[in-house]
Chain A
Amino acid sequence: MNSLIAIWRFRGLARAITERELRTRYTGSSLGPLWLVLQPLAMVLVYTLVFSQLMRARLPGIDSSFAYSVYLLTGVISWNLFLEIIQKSKNLFVEHGNLIKKVSFPRLVLYVPVVAVSGFNFVIMSILFLIFTVAVGMFPGKLILAAGPALALLVVFALAVGVLLSSLQVFFRDIGQVIDIVLQLLFWATPIIYPASILPEAVQRAIQWNPLVPVFRNLQTIFLEHRLPEFSTLLYPLAVAAVIALLAVYAYRRLYGAILDEL
């Protein structure tokens, strides 16, 4: 609770670092902030045009040429949010070492820009994505509000992993490499690119252990089937996230003094 109050007190710092992160991406370029939109736009166009028009990929059971594009974008955009938070957090202490060594402020404030910048990218992509769904007549309407729990869980999950990794990364630099591989495996162990239905029965059961599967399933239900997802399936990922969060808090508290010495 105290740390939440501290974060609120240092909201100016969080805002400044967020702005700095966003601005460094385009400082000196002539198109300026437009670049923040152009990259996601390119991605959305590739996924929609290439898969629906060129490759004519179809989802089994749904008779729409855009269904696979919607499926793909739902998963990829959400996965990017998850991935970006983890990757930005993992080097957090090393990256801000200069500041951390010289000024005393609540370190947790540094995670706010991580979420804010990743969230900013996510929102831009989502807007482009929603425009696309409207264009192809697959906008789920009020139902998009039902995506809230799954997305919130995704952010909390990523943040818990991020806090844990950032504390460990200061000492064990291999962790950064290891986690990239683990994330790749996790990505392919989650039905994002492919529909779960194409998997053999045994594999389908096996990936139920992957806590991210119900989260993405929730989102895909909303955007493809246009119906309320089963929120109760989120309890398992929530429990996993809670355990990781506890580990993260433990590691951070225990290591904090040593982190300051090691930077």
Chain B
Amino acid sequence: MTTTLLHESPAADVEARRIKPVLRAVDLGKAYAPGRGKQVAMDRLFGRRGPPQEPRWVFRNISFEIARGEAIGIIGTNGAGKSTLLKLLTSTSMPSEGSVECHGEIAALLELGMGFHPDFTGRQNAYLAGQTQGRTYAQIDAVIEHIREFAELGDYFDLPLRTYSSGMAVRLAFSVATAFRPDILVVDEALAVGDAYFQHKSFARIRQFLDEGTTLLFVSHDPSSIKSLCTRALLIGDGKLLLDSTPDDVLDFYNAMIAERTLANEKTAPENFTGRSGNGRARFDAVDLIAPRSGLVNQGIFRVGEPMTVRLTYTAHERLDELVAGVLIKNRVGADAFGTNTWFLNIKDLGNKPGEQRTLDFVFDQLNLGPGSYSIATALHRDLDHLGESYDWWERAAIFTVVLPSVATHFIGVAALPLQVVLDPPGVVPTAPQSAPPQAPTETPANADQAPG
């Protein structure tokens, strides 16, 4: 599966970069050598630097700059390296290559608990956690009541942490991490554990910090919280930085990526069924999707309204006068989105050159499909449809994903209908308001309201 970059630099982004960055990653890469710690240690002790031998790269060549006050969402599938990236940025892990520059104080809410000790009370842990951030007793004394109130733990605040539910532990961790406004706040999915009420409360606090100039790094699988909090998003996958753009762009791309992955899995699932049937008197040699604008073949991602060419390469093994070729686009759940064939289009002589490889293009000038993942089934058959005689039926011969070109053209649904919206169009005379009909029963709406109640 290939995924190409749709790299865009929105104006807001460029604007932000003029200010001095608080956080800069240069060619960042992280490799592990699982199970070979002894070897790595020996290498290090005797002079070898850089990544370990036989490395397993989580990601490589990640570079970005984050300006003061930006709110960055970090998106990626499980195992893409989001948490590893945050660990490098908060220096709880060292990069294998590249570097991190950080100008400011970081408060990180990485995994649950931030190193809490189960036998100590919430209060004692709050002190301890504050001190790992370099605060003194006196400084924590000044805010301990705020921590207690914000976490809403009640009597539990003075009970050992092992008696806490995971939600309570997160509430405490969040309250402690945000007791002082940090220059950079890092939140790693932790908030998902809290209930809706606490999430609202913590988002309100994060927003307040953002207004006061804190920089936010936020990992979440919840698109709505990324959209509402973040001004920019980074998509990590396939061991690299795939996209650095607005949250909407990145989320669209990400959703498309997920859908594509799901489809790819479905495709390989039934091993005995290849998705091809037919008697083989004519057969496809290849089905390719071409993006005419870039010339890329089978890159798999198209924007709404972009042109797309479906190129069928086939060979008729004998003379077939009534040979018809068809394509059928299906959406993610397998419902037909669009289909046609050469019989309907009245294109003839497909089968008059037996044994010779031929090419047939279906050129879509505008791919007016809604965003999502699609598959193409192609068929060679006799006459109107494949029920007559099927030479070659190829289910899921090609897969592609449609993404929104930008936030500006947001819509929902399966079809991208060309549309113009006109307010008060010229030539339309507004109808004069009629005088109220004398018999109009004014009680009816009231009754209607009561009916369902």
Chain A: CB-nearest residue to B160: A27
Give the residue of A24, A98, A258 whose beta carbon is less than 8 angstroms from that of B119: A24
Contacts of A101 in B (CB 8 A): 92, 115
Stretch at the interface among B105-113, B307-315, B338-346: B105-113
Contact A102 B128 (CB under 8 A): no
Contact B114 A103 (CB under 8 A): yes
Cβ of A16 within 8 Å of any chain B Cβ, yes or no, is yes
Cβ of B3 within 8 Å of any chain A Cβ, yes or no, is no
Cβ of B132 within 8 Å of any chain A Cβ, yes or no, is yes
Tell me the bound Cα distance from A27 to B131 in angstroms: 22
Contact A20 B117 (CB under 8 A): yes
A12-B137 CB under 8 A given contacts A20-B117, A105-B132, A254-B44: yes
Chain A 83-110: CB-based contact to B (< 8 A → 1; otherwise 0): 0000000000000001111111100000
Contacts of B38 in A (CB 8 A): 171-172
Contact A27 B94 (CB under 8 A): no
Cβ of A255 within 8 Å of any chain B Cβ, yes or no, is yes
A103-B92 CB under 8 A given contacts A12-B135, A20-B128, A171-B37: yes
Chain A 240-263: CB-based contact to B (< 8 A → 1; otherwise 0): 000000000001001111101110
A104-B91 CB under 8 A given contacts A12-B136, A258-B44: yes
A28 to chain B, nearest CB (A): 9
Chain B: CB-nearest residue to A24: B119
A261-B93 CB under 8 A given contacts A24-B119, A172-B41: yes
Cβ of A194 within 8 Å of any chain B Cβ, yes or no, is no
Cβ of B446 within 8 Å of any chain A Cβ, yes or no, is no
Chain A: CB-nearest residue to B38: A171
Chain A: CB-nearest residue to B130: A12
Contact B110 A251 (CB under 8 A): no
Contact A16 B115 (CB under 8 A): no
Give the residue of B41, B114, B124 whose beta carbon is less than 8 angstroms from that of A171: B41
Contacts of B32 in A (CB 8 A): 261
Chain A 148-183: CB-based contact to B (< 8 A → 1; otherwise 0): 000000000000000000001011100000000000
Contact B136 A102 (CB under 8 A): no
Contact B131 A13 (CB under 8 A): yes
Cβ of A9 within 8 Å of any chain B Cβ, yes or no, is yes
Tell me the bound Cα distance from A216 to B92 in angstroms: 41
Give the residue of A99, A256, A261 whose beta carbon is less than 8 angstroms from that of B115: A99
Contact A100 B41 (CB under 8 A): no
A99-B132 CB under 8 A given contacts A104-B106, A261-B32, A261-B93: yes
Contact A13 B117 (CB under 8 A): no
Cβ of A132 within 8 Å of any chain B Cβ, yes or no, is no
A10 to chain B, nearest CB (A): 5
Contacts of B130 in A (CB 8 A): 12
Count of chain B residues with Cβ under 8 Å from any Cβ of A?
36
Contact B119 A102 (CB under 8 A): no
Contacts of B44 in A (CB 8 A): 254-255, 257-258
| A-contacting residues, B29-43, CB 8 Å | 32, 37-38, 40-41
B46 to chain A, nearest CB (A): 9
Chain B: CB-nearest residue to A99: B115
| A-contacting residues, B83-120, CB 8 Å | 90-94, 106, 108, 110-111, 113-115, 117, 119-120
Contacts of B359 in A (CB 8 A): none
Chain A: CB-nearest residue to B45: A254
Tell me the bound Cα distance from A24 to B120 in angstroms: 9
Contact B94 A255 (CB under 8 A): no
A22 to chain B, nearest CB (A): 13
Give the residue of B111, B119, B129, B135 whose beta carbon is less than 8 angstroms from that of A27: B119
A102-B131 CB under 8 A given contacts A171-B38, A260-B93, A262-B37: no
Contacts of B37 in A (CB 8 A): 170-171, 258, 261-262
B33 to chain A, nearest CB (A): 8
Tell me the bound Cα distance from A99 to B111 in angstroms: 11
Contacts of A170 in B (CB 8 A): 37, 41
Tell me the bound Cα distance from A11 to B138 in angstroms: 12
Contact B128 A13 (CB under 8 A): yes
Tell me the bound Cα distance from A238 to B270 in angstroms: 73
Contact A20 B120 (CB under 8 A): yes
Contacts of A171 in B (CB 8 A): 37-38, 40-41
Contacts of B198 in A (CB 8 A): none
Cβ of B134 within 8 Å of any chain A Cβ, yes or no, is yes
Contact B92 A100 (CB under 8 A): yes
Chain B: CB-nearest residue to A96: B115
Cβ of B164 within 8 Å of any chain A Cβ, yes or no, is no
Contacts of B114 in A (CB 8 A): 102-103
Contacts of B136 in A (CB 8 A): 11-12
Contacts of A105 in B (CB 8 A): 132-134
Contact B131 A104 (CB under 8 A): no
Contact A16 B108 (CB under 8 A): no
Tell me the bound Cα distance from A151 to B209 in angstroms: 50
Chain B: CB-nearest residue to A100: B92
Contacts of B41 in A (CB 8 A): 168, 170-172, 255, 258, 262
A106 to chain B, nearest CB (A): 9
Give the residue of A13, A24, A251, A262 whose beta carbon is less than 8 angstroms from that of B132: A13
B383 to chain A, nearest CB (A): 65
Contacts of B115 in A (CB 8 A): 98-99, 101-103
Chain B 115-151: CB-based contact to A (< 8 A → 1; otherwise 0): 1010110001001111111111100100000000000
A258-B40 CB under 8 A given contacts A13-B132, A16-B127, A251-B45: yes
Contact B106 A16 (CB under 8 A): no
Contact A12 B40 (CB under 8 A): no
Q: What 10 pairs between A and B have smallest CB-CB spacing?
A: A257-B94, A99-B115, A13-B131, A171-B41, A12-B131, A103-B132, A102-B115, A104-B91, A262-B37, A254-B44
List 8 contacting pairs A-B, 8 Å CB cutoff, sorted by A: A11-B136, A13-B128, A15-B131, A24-B119, A101-B115, A103-B92, A103-B115, A261-B93
